[in-house]
């Protein structure tokens, strides 16, 4: 198509779009000539070196010219928007979150919104841009709330600043939702048009209403054949008293109805109630650690202005920090010179210690007097697990990694713990089992840590009756999550265990099996509501210890995957607890003791002794494995000793000779049991204690 071109320049790859943009800077003899007159074709020119030093122009069809022109135009418009960013008034700012049940399409909707507003390209929109953690992409769920500031031109041709927060949908990450709502004035309640209202939909709706936020109802996945939008709209009206006329119908996958959603956000959600004339005050609602810049804080400006170069002060620590950089997330970082009230931004201020950044803290300018933001309270942990290094030489490195992770996940609590079998470690509190699994997986993936995680447990509360212990403790109640610290039963007056209020939504054909499961887990039914002719909403009060391990898996199995479950804290309840001890040849092993409900003690005891029998290697003496409650043995297994065949050398003779040798061997084994120590390998404790 093109003639060979001789040139002095050593070009390795010359693209046609560069020639089109900078044609004035190129020699006329170098410009390729098209066969047809008129506009140049949509082609890419590559110069390939010839053996003689010549370059031959080869053309290939491409859409790069149009794409690049669009990118350049987009870059120019983005620069103009960033310049306009500081002048956007509060009346044209909207802060909102997307809340929904798991897998209802929150991240996909966020991608389509970002794509429509030009924050990302169409190619980037093929992936869930805001799910940037490896664990999120592997599990297909959102575990961290992510923020993006986008610009949108409304019907009145005015540019609006929309601060979007994509939140997790699993109940174990409800702290992320609660924390995000502290910086919002409204929410998009996203519901799957196929599966309808689920348990976490109900929980998130009530969470938004508790904060008096405006709710914009949206039905997603209307493009699927078996979608039932009319039925789901009726459910929304029945459960939440939502006007059917206000429900929007979209397909986030195909990009249908996205513009109407943004228009409704601007029309329904009010601008933030802030004052730009007052002294600067901001709320830290998220943070993470960067190895080059230290702790990065995501802040919501409540009052005033913040400019680069100013000094800020923390209300929690009273420390003063120089402000290094200010940026907004689009969703990538874009540096700006200032932030004003109502806006959300990211700041780096030389916080080198991860403990200095506190979620919910209020920051202000140096030496000013302001009131605390005080509108965020972290949830208390429900599930506890011990974390220990595989090698004690890695203790410091593991502690540093945990501190950085806690900076990014404020719902996790930390306390020092130790075990004779596992060494020095920590006891961490989580909001649920999935929360614990994701935290440990991120610890391994993002920090190359190799922790030992013990089986999860809950915190029990006991009332003491021993005056001496009460005087020593300074109180008559004690919260215990470690069975090794459990007092003697004679010193305890009452036992209490934590409860949760669980919400189950299930098809009606599985109700009988699910009720049986809840009864087996010591649940008490509180209510049962028919959402429609095919689905039922049930609420149960359940002991937390009964649901943290496999309750969700069993629920999904019994309902063929259709039932959904969410729960919230429901206080403590009087119960009957026992401490289950493990004895090896009559000697207690403190590391293996557990706190269990009295009715479950026998079953758990049998499981533990069977597991220990398989894990402890045979030795020269017989090992009796016993699971006891006090002096009562609930289960027992025996590991037989190695035995030499002492009669092998006999070739006949009287039977008394054989009996004498066997009797001597038995006496030797008996004496050995009196003085021998049972060797339990370190790996055995790890396998028994870990989840």
Residues at the annotated binding site for GTP?
Answer: 100-107, 166-170, 220-223
| CA distances in angstroms from 583 to 5, 19, 132, 150, 654, listed in the order given | 88, 82, 48, 63, 42
Tokens of 419: 């075990």
Longest dimension (CA), the chain: 119
> Does residue 309 come out as left (phi exceeding 0), alpha (psi in the -120 to 50 range) or beta?
left
**What residue spans of 496-545 are helical by DSSP H?**
511-520
Question: Strand, helix or coil at 68?
Answer: helix
Tell me how far apart the alpha carbons of residues 606 and 589 are, in angstroms, rounded to a whole number.
16
Classify residue 341 as exposed, middle or buried by CB count within 10 Å of its CB (0-12, 13-18, 19+). buried
**Considering only CA atoms, which of 568, 100, 213, 168 is closest in space to residue 379?**
568
Backbone φ, ψ for residue 174 (5° rounding): -65, -20
Residue corresponding to tokens 């070009």:
11
Inter-helix orientation angle 199-210/174-181, to 10°: 30
- The answer to whether 289 and 297 have CB atoms below 8 angstroms apart is no
Residues 6+ apart with CB under 8 A from 23: 31
Tell me how far apart the alpha carbons of residues 448 and 257 are, in angstroms, rounded to a whole number.
43
End-to-end alpha-carbon separation of the chain, Å?
Answer: 67
- The answer to whether 142 and 438 have CB atoms below 8 angstroms apart is no
Which residues are annotated binding-site positions? 100-107, 166-170, 220-223
**Considering only CA atoms, which of 317, 435, 410 is closest in space to residue 359?**
410
- The answer to whether 169 and 102 have CB atoms below 8 angstroms apart is yes
**Considering only CA atoms, which of 605, 630, 595 is closest in space to residue 460?**
595
Tokens of 227: 């979608």
By residue count, the chain amounts to: 691
**Considering only CA atoms, which of 623, 620, 625 is closest in space to residue 672?**
620
Tokens of 200: 């976490």
Tell me how far apart the alpha carbons of residues 117 and 127 are, in angstroms, rounded to a whole number.
16
Tokens of 305: 């202005």
**Considering only CA atoms, which of 224, 269, 273, 206 is closest in space to residue 539?**
206
Handedness of CA 391, 395, 396, 401 (dihedral sign): positive
Half-sphere exposure in the Cβ direction for 195 (13 Å, CA): 19
Looking at the DSSP bridge assignments, the partners of residue 564 are 505
């Amino acid at each position: 198509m093109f003639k060979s071109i001789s040139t002095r320049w050593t070009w390795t790859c010359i693209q046609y779009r560069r020639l089109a943009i900078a044609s004035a800077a190129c020699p006329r003899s170098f410009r390729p000539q098209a066969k047809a007159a008129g506009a140049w074709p949509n082609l890419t020119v590559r110069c390939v070196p010839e053996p003689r030093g010549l370059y031959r122009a080869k053309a290939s069809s491409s859409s790069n010219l149009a794409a690049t022109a669009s990118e350049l135009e987009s870059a120019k418009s983005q620069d103009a928007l960033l310049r306009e960013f500081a002048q956007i008034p509060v009346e044209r700012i909207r802060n909102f979150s997307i809340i929904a049940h798991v897998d209802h399409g929150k991240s996909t909707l966020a991608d389509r919104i970002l794509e429509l507003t030009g924050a990302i390209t169409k190619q980037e929109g093929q992936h869930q841009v805001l799910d940037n953690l490896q664990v999120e992409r592997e599990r297909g769920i959102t575990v961290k709330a992510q923020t993006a500031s986008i610009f949108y031109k409304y019907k009145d041709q005015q540019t609006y600043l929309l601060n979007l927060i994509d939140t997790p949908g699993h109940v174990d990450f409800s702290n992320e939702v609660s924390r995000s709502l502290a910086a919002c004035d409204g929410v998009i309640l996203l519901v799957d048009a196929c599966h309808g209202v689920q348990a976490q939909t109900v929980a998130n709706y009530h969470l938004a209403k508790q904060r008096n936020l405006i709710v914009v109802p949206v039905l997603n996945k209307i493009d699927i054949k078996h979608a039932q939008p009319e039925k789901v709209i009726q459910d929304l009206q029945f459960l939440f008293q939502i006007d059917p006329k206000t429900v929007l119908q979209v397909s986030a996958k195909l990009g249908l109805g996205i513009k109407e959603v943004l228009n409704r956000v601007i029309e329904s959600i009010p601008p933030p109630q802030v004052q730009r004339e007052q002294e600067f005050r901001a709320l830290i609602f998220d943070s993470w650690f960067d190895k080059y810049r230290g702790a990065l804080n995501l802040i919501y400006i409540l009052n005033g202005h913040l400019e680069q170069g100013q000094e800020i002060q923390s209300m929690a620590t009273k420390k003063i920090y120089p402000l290094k950089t200010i940026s907004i997330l689009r969703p990538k970082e874009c540096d700006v010179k200032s932030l004003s009230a109502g806006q959300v931004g990211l700041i780096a201020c030389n916080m080198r210690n991860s403990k200095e950044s506190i979620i919910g803290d209020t920051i202000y300018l140096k030496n000013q007097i302001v009131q605390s933001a005080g509108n965020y309270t972290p949830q208390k942990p429900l599930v506890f697990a011990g974390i220990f290094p595989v090698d004690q030489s890695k203790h410091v490195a593991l502690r540093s990694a945990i501190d950085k992770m806690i900076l990014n996940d404020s719902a996790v609590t930390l306390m020092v713990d130790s075990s004779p079998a596992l060494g020095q470690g920590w006891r961490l509190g989580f909001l649920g089992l999935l929360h614990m699994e994701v935290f440990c997986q991120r610890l391994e993936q993002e920090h190359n840590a190799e922790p030992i995680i013990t089986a999860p447990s809950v915190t029990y509360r006991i009332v003491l009756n021993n005056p001496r212990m009460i005087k020593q403790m300074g109180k008559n109640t004690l919260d215990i999550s470690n069975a090794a610290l459990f007092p003697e039963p004679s010193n305890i007056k009452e036992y209490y265990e934590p409860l949760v209020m669980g919400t189950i939504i299930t098809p009606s054909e599985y109700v009988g099996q699910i009720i049986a499961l809840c009864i087996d887990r010591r649940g008490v039914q509180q209510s049962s509501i028919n959402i429609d002719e095919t689905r039922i909403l049930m609420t149960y009060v359940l002991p937390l210890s009964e649901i943290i391990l496999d309750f969700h898996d069993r629920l999904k199995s019994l309902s063929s995957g259709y039932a959904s479950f969410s729960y919230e804290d429901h206080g403590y309840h009087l119960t009957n607890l026992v401490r289950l001890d493990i004895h090896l040849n009559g000697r207690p092993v403190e590391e293996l003791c557990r706190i269990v409900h009295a009715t479950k003690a026998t079953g758990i005891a049998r499981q533990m002794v069977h597991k220990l029998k398989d894990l402890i290697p045979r030795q020269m003496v017989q090992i009796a494995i016993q699971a006891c409650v006090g002096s009562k043995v609930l289960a027992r297994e025996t590991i037989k000793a190695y035995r030499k065949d002492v009669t092998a050398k006999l070739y006949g003779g009287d039977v008394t000779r054989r009996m004498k040798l066997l009797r001597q061997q038995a006496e030797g084994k008996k004496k050995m049991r009196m003085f021998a120590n049972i060797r339990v390998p370190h790996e055995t404790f790890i396998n028994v204690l870990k989840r």
